[in-house]
A and B are shown apart, each in its own frame.
Chain A
Amino acid sequence: SAVISQKPSRDICQRGTSLTIQCQVDSQVTMMFWYRQQPGQSLTLIATANQGSEATYESGFVIDKFPISRPNLTFSTLTVSNMSPEDSSIYLCSALTGQHTEAFFGQGTRLTVV
């Protein structure tokens, strides 16, 4: 198994500012993902964080709004840029350790934009 730590666990931010969320895994993983969960909704995949290269974004998400870094096999960051109240959500980091094993999730970052 893998333990995923996210920082911060929650934050309240002013509109127009940016927030960087950190995701640390306690072991090397093959793939890392970022999800968004809006209030009362399911999880929506934002992007796959690729080690050493640009992230792969899902439809509706762009790098300028959600820049992602993954400098090594255990760490990734997601930045929510130029925030608006519509960005208020829980942001979750996930990691896959192998081709046929389960994905692990962090506890999420609860973001409120005011």
Chain B
Amino acid sequence: DAKTTQPPSMDCAEGRAANLPCNHSTISGNEYVYWYRQIHSQGPQYIIHGLKNNETNEMASLIITEDRKSSTLILPHATLRDTAVYYCIVRTREGGAQKLVFGQGTRLTINP
């Protein structure tokens, strides 16, 4: 089962920052938080990941709370092409094997 909870949908105005929340209250100390997005049934695209520190790359920023029970993905200047389903995933290790278990994700719509 997925270890994350996300709102099913969100809207954001073009040019504004999109802030996508994720709860992962059962995360273990060595488990990473990953964010992917899927545009119109293409293969999921990696965005960013982190363990406990905030991370930033050319696509987004990831803010992880100090207790690691939740995180927020920030798209600083959303464009229409950012409309997609965004998945927050805890990369789990079960039986020695790493795997990504997807939850239901957040459908983000960027409005002009």
Contacts and interface: CB of A to CB of B under 8 A. Distances in A.
Interface string B66-97: 00000000000000000001010000000101
A103 B45 CA distance: 9
Nearest to A43: B102
Contacts of A48: 97, 99
Interface residues of B, number: 21
Contact of B49 (A99, A102, A104): A102
Interface string B94-112: 0101111111110000000
B29 interface: no
A72 to B, nearest CB: 19
A24 to B, nearest CB: 14
B55 to A, nearest CB: 12
B43 A102 contact: no
Of the listed residues A31, A42, A48, A56, the one surrounded by the most CB atoms of chain B closer than 10 A to its CB is A42
Contacts of B99: 31, 33, 45, 48
A94 interface: yes
Contacts of A96: 98
